[in-house]
């Protein structure tokens, strides 16, 4: 990665794993050199990375599917460009999309804006103190508490499910 180019160019599985583990959020472009739509959207992806990238919080990466086949195969990439998003090393949906297939600058820009906003909040909160309850797709998932109880007079086990009251407020 150069100073002018805030996009990480991944050359190996080890580099990919290192990037995922050293950033809270990652947006990735799976591409091929021979792909015209990949070439068309590349400047958009680079601009989004320059605008929203925050070292250690939000990284943008490119994975050449023919040169880093093991990473592309991990995610079942079959068409290019394909964009995916990760939080704490796990693939997530952003604005309801787990991936964007094709050169769709509007969807890509909206996803980058969402990640950028979350990254700014995380950076403002300080490293390591950001909320684990960031909402990426507009759906807030309320935590539940599961409890198993074995009743001595019944051979079956009882499953209790309840939501905690006010203990886990999610950010707006």
Catalytic residues: 35, 38
For residue 160, cis peptide bond before it (omega within 30 degrees of 0): no
Name the percent of the chain in helix, strand, coil, to the closest 5.
30, 25, 45
Say which DSSP state 26 is in: E
Q: Which residue in the block uniquely carries the two structure tokens 């309320």?
A: 142
What 3-state DSSP class applies to 25? strand
Show the tokens assigned to 158: 């009882």
Distance between CA 67 and CA 148 in Å, rounded? Answer: 48
- Residue tagged 């995922």 (tokens): 20
Q: Which residue has the tokens 């909160």?
A: 125
Which residue carries 């991944």 as its tokens? 10
Residue 36's DSSP bridge partners are none
């Amino acid at each position: 990665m150069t100073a002018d180019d805030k996009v990480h160019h991944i050359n190996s599985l080890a580099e990919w794993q290192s990037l995922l583990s050293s950033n809270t959020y990652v947006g990735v472009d799976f591409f091929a050199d021979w792909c015209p739509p990949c070439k068309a959207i590349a400047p958009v992806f680079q601009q989004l990375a320059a605008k929203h990238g925050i070292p250690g919080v939000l990284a943008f990466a490119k994975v050449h599917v023919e040169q880093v086949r093991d990473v592309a195969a991990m995610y079942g990439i079959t068409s290019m460009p394909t964009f995916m998003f990760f939080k704490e090393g796990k693939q997530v949906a952003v604005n309801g999309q787990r991936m964007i297939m094709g050169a769709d600058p509007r969807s890509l820009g909206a996803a980058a804006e969402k990640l950028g906003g979350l990254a700014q909040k995380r950076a403002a909160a300080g490293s390591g103190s950001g909320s684990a309850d960031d909402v990426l797709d507009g759906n807030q998932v309320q935590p539940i508490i599961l409890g198993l109880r074995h009743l001595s007079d019944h051979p079956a086990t009882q499953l209790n499910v309840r939501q905690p009251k006010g203990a886990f407020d999610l950010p707006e």
